[in-house]
Amino acid sequence: MIANTPKPPYYAVIFSSLKTASDLKGYEAMAIEMDRLVQVQPGYLGHESAREGLGITVSYWNSLEAISNWKKVSEHLSAQTMGKSTWYQAYKTRICRVERDYGFENECSIII
Amino acid sequence: MIANTPKPPYYAVIFSSLKTASDLKGYEAMAIEMDRLVQVQPGYLGHESAREGLGITVSYWNSLEAISNWKKVSEHLSAQTMGKSTWYQAYKTRICRVERDYGFENECSIII
């Protein structure tokens, strides 16, 4: 779903990745665990994720310090190590300051 | 693919959307046309896209002015109007300044 973030400014981490064919079960278990863990991090505001060949996960944070702390959580460090050695062909992480946002919601339509 | 962006700072537009079930052919034709058009906009640096229920498209730009100019391109304005009336259940657009990035590429793995 679309993350329900507060009024800017806040921060976004855009994580774009291409997977390998290796250890798909291990990858899935890690993804579920990271999804659970990230949500209890101080300063976490929400995240959005989609994969269609290329995977894009955007997480939202209230400060750069919160992002830095999440990067250093031990389970997340292990995931980063396995990501490089096994799961990812390539990735790019971009740390951003969200300056402005706007949106739209139509209450009458059917989601597919 | 992962966009080959320059050294930060640069700008990102994160467009997160949920589609309706309406006019899927019209939507697809628009998406192809916008994909073509965006690439010839001044200041465009690349984009990444994935949909898995939620759709996430991130486009990268060299300035806020370039983002503002792309928003006002007439074909893009028509797409925005149709987006609200027909194609999207909801969307959120976030304008960001990319402060920092880092990445990884493994030349030995097979992409899936």
Distance from CA of B26 to the nearest CA of A (A): 16
Q: Closest by alpha carbon to A95, among B69, B5, B57, B66?
A: B5
Whole-structure pTM value? 0.94
Mutate to test the interface with A, among B5, B14, B35 (most CBs of A within 10 A): B14
> pLDDT tens digits, chain A, 112 residues: what are they?
999 999 999 999 999 999 999 999 999 999 999 999 999 999 999 999 999 999 999 999 999 999 999 999 999 999 999 999 999 999 999 999 999 999 999 876 455 5
Separation of alpha carbons A34 and A59, rounded Å = 12
Q: What integer best gives the mean pLDDT of chain B?
A: 94
Q: What is the per-residue pLDDT for A108?
A: 60
CB of B6 closer than 8 Å to CB of B45: yes
Q: Are A12 and A60 in contact (CB under 8 A)?
A: yes
Band (B111; pLDDT cuts 50, 70, 90): low
Q: Please answer yes or no on whether B1 and A54 come within 8 Å at the CB atom.
A: yes
CA atoms of B104 and A92, how far apart (whole Å): 6
* Burial track B58-81 (b if 16+ CB lie within 10 A, e otherwise): bbbbbeeebbeebeeeeebeebbe
Closest residue of chain B to A85, computed from CA coordinates: B106
Give the C-alpha separation, B83 to B31, whole Å.
11
SS3 A9: coil
Pairing of strands A54-61, B54-61: unpaired
Coil vs helix vs strand at A5: coil
Question: A56: which chain B residues are within 8 Å (Cβ-Cβ)?
Answer: 48-50, 56, 58
Mean predicted confidence (pLDDT) in B87-97: 97
What is the residue type of B3? Answer: A
User: Is residue B58 scored above 80 in pLDDT?
Assistant: yes
Contacts of A106 in chain B (CB under 8 A): 20, 84, 88-90
Q: Which residues of chain B neighbour A95 with C-beta distances below 8 Å? A: 98-101
Contact B95 A101 (CB under 8 A): yes
> A16 to chain B: which residues are within 8 Å by CB?
2-3, 48, 58
Q: Do B112 and A49 touch (CB under 8 A)?
A: no
User: Using a CB-CB distance cutoff of 8 angstroms, which residues of chain A are in contact with residue B94?
Assistant: 5, 8, 12, 98, 100-101
Average pLDDT of span B35-57: 97
CB A59 within 8 A of CB A73: no
Structure tokens at B45: 């640096």
Give the model's pLDDT for residue A101.
Answer: 97
Q: What is the mean pLDDT of residues B23-44?
A: 96
pLDDT tens digits, residue range B98-108?
999 999 998 76
Secondary structure class of B83 (helix, strand, coil): helix
Minimal Cα–Cα distance from B64 to chain A, Å? 10
Asked if B109's CB is within 8 angstroms of A92's CB, the reply is no
Three-class SS state of A110 = coil
Residue B51 and residue A56 in contact, taking contact as beta carbons nearer than 8 Å:
no
Among A68-72, B42-46, B48-52, B106-110, whose mean pLDDT is lowest? B106-110
